[in-house]
Structure 1
Amino acid sequence: MESFSLQNLEIINNEADVKDIIVEPLLKFLDYPQDSIKRKDSIQKLVITKGSKKERYRPDYIIFHEDKPVIVIEAKTPNAILEDFIYQVSGYALQLNQSFKKINPCQIKVLTNGKYIKIFGWDEVTPIYDTAIGKIDYAHLKSILGPQKVFSLFTELEQKLKNPLYNKLGFIKPTKGEISKVFFEINNYIWKKEGMKPTDAFWEFVKLFSLKMDNDKYINKKLMNNQEISMDDIFFSTNYIDKNLSLFPKQDPIKKIFNNFREELEILIIKEGKKRIFTKGEELNLSLDTIKYVVKRLEKFDLNDIDEDLNGRIFEVFLRAAVRGRELGQYFTPRDVIKFMVKLAGPNENTKILDACCGSGGFLIESFAYIMNNIPKNLSKSKHEEIVKNIKENLIFGVDKEEKVVRLARINMYVHKDSSSKIFRLQDALDKNLTIDPTLPDEEQQQYKDAKEVLINGAFQIVLTNPPFSSNYKMKDKDTNKSDTRILKNYTVVGKKNSINSNILFIERYYDLLELGGKLITVIDDSLLNAKNQASFREWILDRFHIKAVISLPFNAFVNASTTIKTSIIYLEKKEYKSISKNKIFMAICNNVGHDDSGNDTPERNNLNIVYSKWLDFNKDFSLPDIIIENQNKSELLTCSLQIFSIDYSKMSSKRFDAFFYSPELQNIYKKINSLDKNKFIIKTSKEFTLQKSVNAKYVQNNFNTIFNYIEVGSCNKKGDIVSSQSNNLGNLPTRARITVKAFDIITPKLIGCLYSTCIINNDINNSLVSTGFFVFTNLSERNSYLLWSSLRSELVQKQFYYLSSTAVQPELSKEFLEKYVKIPIPINEYADAIYEDVKLCTKLRHDLDHKLNAISNNLKFDTNLSFK
């Protein structure tokens, strides 16, 4: 069995080949009995939905166990994009499960096109296994898709369902939607009844949730060991509360259980060196009514058996419903981004992993789940337990500075059956010396001592992280005892700068901690990849890392943290200093990572699934054709096409690292411009026009009290209209009101958030001031103004602005990149005559229409005797 491999892959041409060469041999290898397999001709068609549309569909295969459907399999043609058909198998699995009570027998769905195979949980769109056909680990495939594993899911569930008490309590496995709704309602109840701040309410919920998870784990262990359970074993229930209150009316039983739970953890701190989750003597600070409400809402759920994806989302879901991470000073990385980054890293049971900005532990939990799912299955029980113990105790490490966040990460790891003792709270993980503050309590000083034994240079194989963007360190003076100065003096990346952001420092910190060849996969704000003032940092990177991949995330990636800062994922591999990098660099530009502009889940549009598939392709021979797929929702904030491509390493320089700059769509725009009819267009750059400069200080002084009409960037709309302005003396206008304009000047915004808002200055607003947020093309005749305006507003030019912009918070096009890279096609000859006459006519009609509308309003006659009281 172990030597099995699929054959004749090179002759797969159609769907029938995929079934004959891939699916049928795999089902035989997996040892599924023929009488358990139903094929398409004998499968009933069911109605499934895609958005508002309905269709009748049946899959190619269904695997049955004891007359229950357990696996749905769909084969597609080799050129099919599998992500486009997830809705089919998902919809069919849902229909199958809805025909059963208390149980969802169909647990697995499989998609393959002969090139890739993707395996999903029945209600998930993120694969639990996703690989190229030629890279299948057959032992691992059997461990997750073989009859022994799949059928055991039902043996365990049926064993539970046979228990009268389990049935009596009506335990159910919650979906993400159910748990989200319940968390939202719990959060609202706590706020109203307890009058707590969001963060305080959240922490009280964490205490109760910890008890629920602990109790469910205990009950499930007894059930699986065929031990009897009584109602007293199920303490997280209203029945238990009522029974104990009847015996001890003045003693809240859940508070008592929490105190015992806290003391058990305290013993582990003392005896086993575990890290603190709750403070000494910490109480459950909720009223009995609130506790009973929370218990009632959660008691029916069996949280021990929820799938790993929902398990990892538990706190994330509540935080979204309750406080949005910013209340805790955190911007939690979207779960789909975390899962993608972990898959890129590909950790295994021998990989040592670090996140020194771990927050609630998202990367750590996902890494733990990934490794556990990929442990070889053909091991003895003792060997398996040995590996699991090593993973928990020696492989996964986290650091953060915020006390409550660290405690949250520890309990998050604790409820995920992992050790919480390897998450350290340090005042500053960037301190390479891990200086111990002698005024700290002994327990916290011990954390530093433990951390020093772990955070050793060259000790880690993988770093997965999303460091804070906004923290700034300053070289305050020559006093090296000052904390910032003391820390910065140990960093080479600082160079001659007097201040530097923490996310840059973390890159060097991780460089030190990684072994040679170690992987650093991090979320990074785009200003570090493209801002001119960060070129020295990018040079520092090129000297020390191979750049393996850059994946641009959409502007709405962190919308659930109430920020639209532009970010990317960068994958770096530590190399010998200044050694040569030769392979190509994988790049992608995403427009969706599992949610829309409002933060609502859009799993079917998540680009990261196809990006990962193409990453696997790329790593076969480091070649990849350009892929451009239009966004399904073009109304999204600053959207663009999904683009997946690679570039030669020689093209990468400290000038720009971001994927936007190397975008294939941008390259296609250049090709299109260069191919324009030379009898109709001449290609120019902005250097061939005059750009108006800002007025100098003397002009401001001389005209300080002069009244000007002022046009702000927001005064222009995408139709090319100036819709508003303000008048005031120069001294009272914003300091950005510093560019003078005259008739036939063209103003076009630098900010890409204002794309297409390019306007012509007309005679009515001659000699106005405009914001320095505009480029102002001046000294133009009426004809040249109209021709240039028509070109600047075109998609060919505005998309250049979009892809060439830089910085992360408010990306804009710099003057340097406008002059160097933007190509402007200007109409000429008879074609120019036609364009000029059209624009001239439209301008006159618009002007006449505006005056007519104003005249209608101004000429209305009112009864002036009306009295308004």
Structure 2
Amino acid sequence: MPKLPDPFSTKPTKEQIQTTREILDAIFKEPQVKYGLREFSDIKIDEVLNISEKESGRFYIRCLKRDKDIFIFDKKTNKRKPEEIIRQLWLYKLITQYGYPVNQIKVEENVYFGREIKIKDADIVIYHKDKVSPFIVIETKKPDEKKGLAQVKSYASSMGALIAVWTNGQASQVLYRLHPSREYEYLTDIPKNGESVEDLKKKKLVLADLKRDYDLTERLKILQELVFASTGESMFNEVFKLIYAKIHDEIEARDRKDNELRFRVYFDDQQTKDEVSILFEEAKEKYEGVFEKQDKIKLSASLLKACISKLQDIAILNKNTRIADEAFEFLLPDVAKAQKGQYFTPRYVIKAAVKILNPKPTEYIIDPACGSGGFLIEAMRWVWDNYLQNEPESKKIEYAQRYIYGLDFEEMMHKISRALMTIAGDGSSNIFRLNTLDTKSWFEETEEKLDARKKLKKLLFEFQDYKRDKENQEAFRYFNFDILLTNPPFAGEIHDPVLIREYELTKNKKGGYPDKVERDLLFIERELQFIKPGGRMVTVLPQGKLNNPNTEYIRKWLIDKARILGVIGLHTNTFKLPAPAKGTSTKTSLLFLQRWNDNPELGPLNPFKADYPIFMAVSKKPGKNNSGEYIYKKDADGQFIKDDGNLIVDTDLDEIAEAFVKFAKEQKFSFWK
């Protein structure tokens, strides 16, 4: 066999890189798909592939094994072969990262089933050093392909290979079985050249090994298909237990020798379940109030092992909390979200709102419908980055535990917010499962609600009038928070006549009360009850509440209670989600308010004005396309711009926030002087 040219010894020219870049974007349709090839996140894809135009409008890639040009794209017909790109990138990894010699690798290898030759060949086969016995079979698919696992299993079985790999570039599954009579088990990776499966299993897993650029949602989709489709167990509940156990393990590993992790697949299935179950028990004890004492991991040892194999190599304690947001958005049942109008607020919307309100390190913050805790996390980080940047970690944690509060009635949302606040920096101490609108329900004699009342009582507003103050102490209606940030649930109606009569905005023109009211109407009034005189807030509202003629009474009520600082109209794509998830295209706005106050002893001065300017803006770059997929910023060369390894969403909300801050300073707002 003639010696193959070394494809790694020469660097491509700028023109070659540009050609490769353009053709890859065309092959994968959306540039974001190319970025989504997380299996190759550590590879400069544009530089390692050799793509050239051999015929007019027809492009070929140089195969790293066959040393010949393989067709991949035709501009005229739009015919393309993304799976060939995936194959070449895997060949590059196998040779440069796993150390397999080219002469131990074959592509398009015939698969025999008895006397029959399989028409479709195995994409990549790695042989043992004898170059006769197959060791690993790899089936490469295009990025949006989800099928093919059974196919590669059959190939491996027929060829006698120990390991079968299915990959679409975004995620991969590695299966291993020593003998055809055994069940396949999942591995986190394939062995390197000269390494056995046993060597791979015995390796220590340490914090430095964990990936930080990954698609957790894609991994959960695989688990949904392979594990939870046939178990009958709640995917949300079981995965959430594992995530909590993993969070605990990552925190504890910081103080262990070599930062070793215990959340991993062990040689024995039962040992894996025992170790992870112990971690879960420790996490329950450390982070009380999320799980019941009797809660256990319900998955069988073999299914649990499959789950661990998909989670063990990633860092859940990750600065990019959008990863966790999207994963929980996937886990939550669509029906439950749609019925309650609960949709995760995109991080870039939250960051703009937090920047505008400029929280300070001695200000108490609350989100009375905290959902995933996004507003609280970003407010906490704003204070850390702008006011406590030189303080030790202990001071930052102390701030989070003292000043950050969140309420949510829904059990799953409460668990999510506590988990994400823990991930972000242990600000989960004051996240309570309470019905924000109905404080009567806060007085049930449960341990959880006793703790909530004890902590929230310290922040009740103190009235000078004894009778009114006593009523407030008993009703928990008016609070003394400095800042409120929230996206309350839009959908649903309130039918409780007693609850309806507790709110001013529910009265009709004749002074009577209707039989039912929309939930978000009560939230508008309740939100202002949480903040002190001079306190400020932002809320997400359907635009109809601000624009419709029949809601004029709401606007008049708001103007009487607070200064309207500004309104930012959000794009209809803002809350859309990619299929099959169901987001919403409801037109929404960010409404910023500051309660009137002429007494400096009660809070920041904001004396009543009948006439004043209001900041108004409309977002025209929503950061998402019509399908709900994120749009990312690119530089002049068409390359994605990253911040600390994470892509930046292409939105104009940060610019709008900057304009708001300039306006606030000109108007001498108390929080931007």
* TM-score class normalised by the smaller sequence: 0.5 to 0.7
Q: Whole-Å Cα distance in 2 between the matches of residues 342 and 621 of structure 1?
A: 19
**What residue in structure 1 maps to residue 337 of structure 2?**
326
Match of residue 361, structure 2, among 337, 349, 352: 349
**What residue in structure 2 maps to residue 207 of structure 1?**
241
Q: Whole-Å Cα distance in 2 between the matches of residues 94 and 497 of structure 1?
A: 67
Q: How many equivalent residue pairs?
A: 444
Structure 2: give runs of 5+ residues left out of the alignment.
1-13, 26-34, 36-41, 49-92, 98-201, 462-477, 599-606, 634-649, 669-673
Q: Whole-Å Cα distance in 1 between the matches of residues 631 and 330 of structure 2?
A: 16
**What residue in structure 1 maps to residue 211 of structure 2?**
173
Matched letter for residue 295 of structure 1: I
Match of residue 219, structure 2, among 170, 182, 185: 182
Asked if 1:545 corresponds to 2:562, the answer is yes
Matched letter for residue 363 of structure 2: T
Asked if 1:509 corresponds to 2:526, the answer is yes
Q: Whole-Å Cα distance in 2 between the matches of residues 494 and 505 of structure 1?
A: 17
Matched letter for residue 652 of structure 2: N
Q: CA deviation at 1:97?
A: 12
Larger mean Cα displacement after TM superposition, 498-507 or 44-53: 44-53
**What residue in structure 2 maps to residue 584 of structure 1?**
613
Q: Is the 8 A contact 1:190 1:201 kept in 2?
A: no
Matched letter for residue 468 of structure 1: P
Asked if 1:441 corresponds to 2:478, the answer is no
Q: Whole-Å Cα distance in 2 between the matches of residues 255 and 321 of structure 1?
A: 21
**What residue in structure 2 maps to residue 522 of structure 1?**
539
> Structure 1 length as normaliser, TM-score?
0.46
**What residue in structure 2 maps to residue 429 of structure 1?**
436
Change over 3 Å in CA distance of 1:492–1:221 after alignment to 2: farther
Q: Is the 8 A contact 1:493 1:540 kept in 2?
A: no
The DSSP-based 3-state class of the residue aligned with 1:596 is coil
**What residue in structure 1 maps to residue 487 of structure 2?**
466
Change over 3 Å in CA distance of 1:417–1:613 after alignment to 2: closer
Q: Whole-Å Cα distance in 2 between the matches of residues 599 and 501 of structure 1?
A: 27
Asked if 1:298 corresponds to 2:314, the answer is no
**What residue in structure 2 maps to residue 761 of structure 1?**
none
Q: Is the 8 A contact 1:552 1:589 kept in 2?
A: yes
Q: CA deviation at 1:436?
A: 5.1
Matched letter for residue 292 of structure 1: K
Structure 2 matches for 1:87-486, cutoff 5 A? Answer: 171-176=209-214, 178-196=215-233, 200-222=234-256, 227-228=257-258, 233-239=260-266, 242=269, 244=271, 252-265=274-287, 269=288, 276-304=289-317, 306=318, 308=319, 310-320=320-330, 323-324=333-334, 326=337, 329=340, 330-379=342-391, 381=392, 385-386=394-395, 388-426=396-434, 428-431=435-438, 434-435=439-440, 440-456=445-461, 457=478, 459-473=480-494, 476=497, 482-485=498-501
**What residue in structure 1 maps to residue 471 of structure 2?**
none
Change over 3 Å in CA distance of 1:590–1:279 after alignment to 2: same
Q: Is the 8 A contact 2:623 2:630 kept in 1?
A: yes
**What residue in structure 1 maps to residue 503 of structure 2?**
488
Q: Is the 8 A contact 2:373 2:417 kept in 1?
A: yes
Cα deviation 1:101-122 (Å, max 9, x = unaligned):
99xxxxxxxxxxxxxxxxxxxx
Structure 1 ranges of 4+ moved more than 4 A: 44-55, 93-102, 164-170, 240-243, 436-440, 489-495
Structure 1: give runs of 5+ residues left out of the alignment.
1-43, 56-86, 88-92, 103-163, 246-250, 270-275, 477-481, 624-869
Matched letter for residue 454 of structure 1: L
Q: Higher helix share goes to which structure?
A: 1
Change over 3 Å in CA distance of 1:234–1:193 after alignment to 2: farther
Q: CA deviation at 1:537?
A: 0.9
Q: Is the 8 A contact 1:356 1:398 kept in 2?
A: yes
**What residue in structure 2 maps to residue 498 of structure 1?**
513
Change over 3 Å in CA distance of 1:220–1:311 after alignment to 2: farther
Q: Is the 8 A contact 1:554 1:590 kept in 2?
A: yes
Q: Whole-Å Cα distance in 2 between the matches of residues 50 and 360 of structure 1?
A: 40
Q: Is the 8 A contact 2:536 2:594 kept in 1?
A: yes
The DSSP-based 3-state class of the residue aligned with 1:542 is helix
Matched letter for residue 266 of structure 2: N
Cα deviation 1:272-314 (Å, max 9, x = unaligned):
xxxx10012111122222211111112222333x3x2x22540
Change over 3 Å in CA distance of 1:490–1:440 after alignment to 2: farther
Q: CA RMSD in A?
A: 3.9
Q: Is the 8 A contact 1:523 1:567 kept in 2?
A: yes
Larger mean Cα displacement after TM superposition, 572-581 or 511-520: 572-581
Asked if 1:612 corresponds to 2:620, the answer is no
Asked if 1:563 corresponds to 2:584, the answer is yes
Structure 2 matches for 1:25-44, cutoff 5 A? Answer: none
The DSSP-based 3-state class of the residue aligned with 2:348 is helix
Q: Mark the structure with the bigger radius of gyration.
A: 1
Matched letter for residue 584 of structure 2: T
The DSSP-based 3-state class of the residue aligned with 1:454 is coil
The DSSP-based 3-state class of the residue aligned with 1:205 is helix
Q: Whole-Å Cα distance in 2 between the matches of residues 491 and 406 of structure 1?
A: 28
The DSSP-based 3-state class of the residue aligned with 2:293 is coil
The DSSP-based 3-state class of the residue aligned with 2:538 is strand
The DSSP-based 3-state class of the residue aligned with 1:615 is helix
Matched letter for residue 212 of structure 2: P
Q: Whole-Å Cα distance in 2 between the matches of residues 408 and 334 of structure 1?
A: 15
Q: Whole-Å Cα distance in 1 between the matches of residues 387 and 302 of structure 2?
A: 45
**What residue in structure 2 maps to residue 861 of structure 1?**
none
Matched letter for residue 403 of structure 2: L
Matched letter for residue 420 of structure 1: S
The DSSP-based 3-state class of the residue aligned with 1:343 is helix
Q: Whole-Å Cα distance in 2 between the matches of residues 328 and 208 of structure 1?
A: 27
Q: Is the 8 A contact 1:234 1:240 kept in 2?
A: no
Cα deviation 1:606-645 (Å, max 9, x = unaligned):
221332233344445469xxxxxxxxxxxxxxxxxxxxxx
Q: Is the 8 A contact 1:493 1:537 kept in 2?
A: no
Q: Whole-Å Cα distance in 2 between the matches of residues 483 and 216 of structure 1?
A: 44
Q: CA deviation at 1:328?
A: 8.5
Q: Is the 8 A contact 2:17 2:47 kept in 1?
A: no
Cα deviation 1:498-517 (Å, max 9, x = unaligned):
24433232232222321233
Q: Whole-Å Cα distance in 2 between the matches of residues 351 and 513 of structure 1?
A: 13
The DSSP-based 3-state class of the residue aligned with 2:458 is helix
**What residue in structure 1 maps to residue 103 of structure 2?**
none
Matched letter for residue 385 of structure 1: S
Q: Whole-Å Cα distance in 2 between the matches of residues 349 and 220 of structure 1?
A: 27
Q: Is the 8 A contact 2:207 2:253 kept in 1?
A: no
Q: What is the percent sequence identity of the aligned residues? A: 25
**What residue in structure 2 maps to residue 714 of structure 1?**
none
Q: Is the 8 A contact 1:365 1:416 kept in 2?
A: yes
Change over 3 Å in CA distance of 1:46–1:621 after alignment to 2: farther
Q: CA deviation at 1:544?
A: 2.0
The DSSP-based 3-state class of the residue aligned with 1:303 is coil
Q: CA deviation at 1:452?
A: 3.2
Q: CA deviation at 1:374?
A: 2.1
Q: Is the 8 A contact 1:475 1:498 kept in 2?
A: no
Change over 3 Å in CA distance of 1:185–1:459 after alignment to 2: same
Q: Whole-Å Cα distance in 1 between the matches of residues 666 and 504 of structure 2?
A: 42
Q: Whole-Å Cα distance in 2 between the matches of residues 375 and 241 of structure 1?
A: 49
Cα deviation 1:371-407 (Å, max 9, x = unaligned):
222234445x4xx633x24422221101111223212
Change over 3 Å in CA distance of 1:315–1:621 after alignment to 2: closer
Q: Is the 8 A contact 1:183 1:318 kept in 2?
A: no
Q: CA deviation at 1:534?
A: 0.8
Q: Is the 8 A contact 1:255 1:283 kept in 2?
A: yes
Q: Is the 8 A contact 2:207 2:250 kept in 1?
A: no
Q: Whole-Å Cα distance in 2 between the matches of residues 512 and 254 of structure 1?
A: 44
**What residue in structure 1 maps to residue 596 of structure 2?**
575
